[in-house]
Structure 1
Amino acid sequence: MKRQAGRPRKNSVPVAQEFRGKTSREILGEQVGESQDQIRRYIRLTELIPEILEMVDDKKISMRPAVELSYLPKEEQEILYDAMESEACTPSHAQAIKIRKFSAEGRLNEDVLLSIMSEEKPNQVEQWKIPKNRLKKYFPSGITQQKMEETIIKALELYRKREKSRER
């Protein structure tokens, strides 16, 4: 019997026999050095509208928020994209989760989007850092960071009151 080119015989061994029991995500992940969860995320990104996907490619939106946004219907993604463009901001992961939740509940609209997008993101809050070794001489050993912060704030409040009274 003559074999047709490119077609396996009925009794031939499958090419990927050594991958038995593994998902395609696992196989691909091993081949490219990524976890199967990361592969799942990449696949999920294909649900994004091209404009938002381009923002992911340009590193304007991180992977995890983008995955959350990929669950939005295309029409809502378009509204979101317009909001991101007009407000010149992108959602954090927490904001993307909120957006997805509102969408799932059927309560997502432009006003809700703008409200969520205007929330202050934790990484946008300016922080002051003082090395612990500069402060430890003022506190007993074993004191918690929270107690140190409370004490410092009280000390600054007292300092401020004293400075105000001197100005009078």
Structure 2
Amino acid sequence: MMLPVSELHDFPGHPFQVRDDEEMEKLAESITQHGVLMPGLVRPRTAGGYEIVAGHRRKFASVKAGIREMPVIVRDMDDDTAVILMVDSNVQRENVLPSEKARAYKMKLDAIKRKAGRPSKENSAGIRQNLFSIQKIADDAGEGKTKIQQYIKINDLIPELLEMVDGNEIKFNPAYELAFLRLEEQAVLYDILQAEEVTPSLSQAQRLKRASQEGRLSEQDIATIMREEKAQTRDTGKVTLPAKEIEQFFPKSYTPEQKKKIIVKLLANWARQRGAQER
């Protein structure tokens, strides 16, 4: 049916960002010309209106294009079914950030467990169910079971480090190892990364994890580990731009890839101007 976009409300805890970027501009232009070609999926809200299960970007683009109504399929479903459908309809999109996948997979895992009736983690039935649930998420997403477990684990990172993962300042495999650090250790690590303008390699992250699990990771230990490999990589030509220093120049909706393109474009313009002056 056609419903007013004003009656369509976001899914609670929706883990996927709706970005007002170039792709959204294209979607809004398409909707202006052809309308919404694929209906969204919604369910009735007890507070009135409808809750979007799939179609957040289509709603945003419709509003952007000045369209007041949007085609949707209305379906009654329980909370856990809605979570599973919401994750499955979004996680295969391009440009999904690691943090978005991490939260989405965790939400889906919890929903699958609730639907099955969660047994105790300590007994063998609980372990089997957990492995079965993770395998189902992996099969649905086309990812390996280990990868799903790693994504779920990086939810344990503090927001500042997770933002660095989204910005590709910290690679995924080191991020997984860092997720085993205690929160206070992660906070110290983040401060050192900003002060030293470095990012941890996989071997550094593994050493930090091992020291943390052995109960011997002090602030000095973290600084020492990070500075050792910094000397080895100082002359590689790599330039790191700390997020805190550049985020003030970009809209919050910009993805790391968009920021990179703008920086490269500005450098290209600077190089042309410099070349003209030298001539």
The TM-score with structure 1 as length reference comes to 0.59
Alignment correspondent of 1:45 = 154
Superposed, 1:124-135 pairs within 5 Å as 124=233
Aligned twin of 2:195: 86
- 1:59 aligns with 168
Query: Is 1:103 the counterpart of 2:212 in the alignment?
Result: yes
| Structure 2 counterpart of 1:30, one-letter code | D
Distance (Å, rounded) in 1 between the aligned partners of 2:158 and 2:235: 33
| Identity among equivalent pairs (%) | 40
Pair 1:71-2:71 in alignment: no
- Confirm or deny: 8 A CA contact 1:61 1:90 kept in the other structure: yes
Letter of the 2:173 partner, please give it: R
Counterpart of 1:106 in 2: which secondary structure?
coil
- Counterparts of 1:119-158 in structure 2, within 5 Å, are 119-120=228-229, 124=233
* Distance change >3 Å, CA 123–CA 29, structure 1 → 2: farther
Deviation digits for residues 34-88 of structure 1 (CA, Å, limit 9, x no counterpart): 1011000000001010110111111111111111111111011000110111111
User: What residue in structure 2 maps to residue 36 of structure 1?
Assistant: 145
The answer to whether the 8 Å contact 2:198/2:230 transfers is: no
**1:23–1:123 CA distance, 2 compared to 1 (3 A):** farther
Could you tell me how far 1:30 is from its partner in structure 2? 1.4
Cα distance between partner residues in 2 of 1:6 and 1:43: 25
**Contact 1:92 1:121 (C-alpha < 8 Å) held by counterparts:** no
Between the aligned partners of 1:79 and 1:118, the Cα distance in structure 2 is: 14
Secondary structure at the aligned position of 1:61 is classed as: coil
Unaligned runs of 5+ in 1: 8-14, 128-168
Gaps of 5+ in 2: 1-75, 79-114, 117-128, 237-279
How far apart in 1 are the matches of 2:148 and 2:165?
15
- Give the letter for the 1:88 counterpart: E
What count of residue pairs does the alignment treat as equivalent?
113
Q: How far apart, in 1, do the equivalents of 2:146 and 2:231 lie?
A: 26
Letter matched to residue 70 of structure 1? A
- Per-residue deviation at 1:103? 1.1
TM-score by length of 2: 0.36
Question: Which residue of structure 2 aligns with residue 112 of structure 1?
Answer: 221
Change (3 A) 1:122 1:26: farther
- CA deviations on 1:104-161 (whole Å, 9 max, x unpaired) are 122111211111001226983879xxxxxxxxxxxxxxxxxxxxxxxxxxxxxxxxxx
Q: Aligned-residue CA RMSD in angstroms?
A: 3.0
Query: Within 2, Cα distance between the matches of 1:122 and 1:28?
Result: 41
Structure exhibiting the larger radius of gyration computed from Cα positions:
1
Query: What letter is aligned with 1:36?
Result: K
Is the Cα–Cα contact under 8 Å of residues 137 and 148 in structure 2 kept in the other structure?
yes
